[in-house]
A = this chain, B = another copy of it.
Amino acid sequence: MAKVGFIGAGKIGQTIAYSAMVSGAVDEAVIYDIIPELPEKYEHELRHAFATRGIKLEVLGTNSLDDVSGMDIIVISAGKPRKPGMSRRDLFVDNAKIMIDLGNKLPAKNPGAIYLMVANPVDMMASVFMKYSKQFTISAGDQVETMRMRSFIAKKLKLPVSAVDGFVGGEHGEDAVVLWSTVKIKGQPVDKYNVNKDEVTDYVKKIPGEIIRVIGGTTWGPGTIIADIIKAFALNENRVMSIATPREYEKEIIHVSAPTVVGSSIGPSLETLLDEKDRWSLNASMKDFYEVYKDNLKQLEQTMKA
């Protein structure tokens, strides 16, 4: 079990925290948000939930970042959402400033903690947080896409979801790629089954938008999946998950997802075990990531100087 700090108590932050707590991964939690009273009221809700389960867990909702202290892992979902008319680069700059600020404040009171980034653009925010804080940071990356891919194929083939294995990698979002060499159905290569690969890729890219359009945000899927990343760390489950861990690229630390062992130690990545095509896809992702990231960093630095 782990002491977990949650930075951000919006819808997704609340769902991740709830799901992690009721699944037994957490023995102490501090939930921080900037909105007055929000974390404190959320704490009440959690306490009511714990009562019916007999859950014994120290939990604190707070508006003071100083209360986030002595944690093993800190999950960052704080950040602004993209508004209409706003470019991705503008979103990067706005949220990067939040990350730099958090990165200045959190490490002193949380020696040895690792950081799990959830705020968007998630992989770049992980890289920014790590660049400025010098703390070991991972991104939830494509583990959500991974589960969406498995879920879609299982429903199509009318199989239990546990029958479908495999991973999605690359940068989280539009550019994520299904790592087809890893996809197995009942232990068999995907090509033995009638799977329309384009349809799968299409689903993985479009379903979050569809959910957001109708419900206003994705919560239960990412909430549960990211809670399981926390659980794999906290209970040392050694689960292979498609998260983004830091890697050097042209002397810059970048975050791009590949199947990676998640336990109380993070890694290794299974990238070298992929087939050539999938490795090529990952390399292309890194290059793309790096270029956009460098460009965004420049913009950020200009803004900060100003």
Which chain A residues have a beta carbon within 8 Å of chain B's beta carbons? 1-2, 14, 18-19, 22-24, 27, 37-38, 41-42, 44-56, 112, 114, 136, 143-144, 147-148, 150-151, 154-155, 160-165, 184, 186-188, 207, 210-211, 214-215, 218-225, 228, 234-241, 261, 263-266, 268, 270, 272-273
Question: Are A234's CB and B54's CB within 8 A?
Answer: yes
Contacts A45-B221, A238-B239 given: A264-B162 contact, CB under 8 Å?
A: yes
Most B C-beta atoms less than 10 A away, residue of A37, A44, A154: A44
Q: Which residue of B lies closest to A152 (CB)?
A: B47
Provide the bound-state CA to CA distance between A272 and B143, in Å.
Answer: 24
A205 to chain B, nearest CB (A): 14
Question: Are B161's CB and A224's CB within 8 A?
Answer: no
Main DSSP-derived SS at the A contact region: helix
Contacts A48-B225, A165-B265 given: A54-B114 contact, CB under 8 Å?
A: no
Set B162, B234, B265: member contacting A236, Cβ < 8 A: B162
- 29 CB contacts below 8 A, A to B, read A1-B162, A19-B22, A27-B56, A37-B214, A41-B210, A41-B215, A42-B220, A44-B151, A45-B219, A47-B161, A48-B222, A50-B161, A51-B148, A51-B151, A52-B143, A52-B225, A53-B228, A54-B162, A54-B236, A54-B237, A56-B160, A56-B162, A162-B236, A165-B236, A165-B265, A237-B239, A261-B270, A270-B273, A272-B272
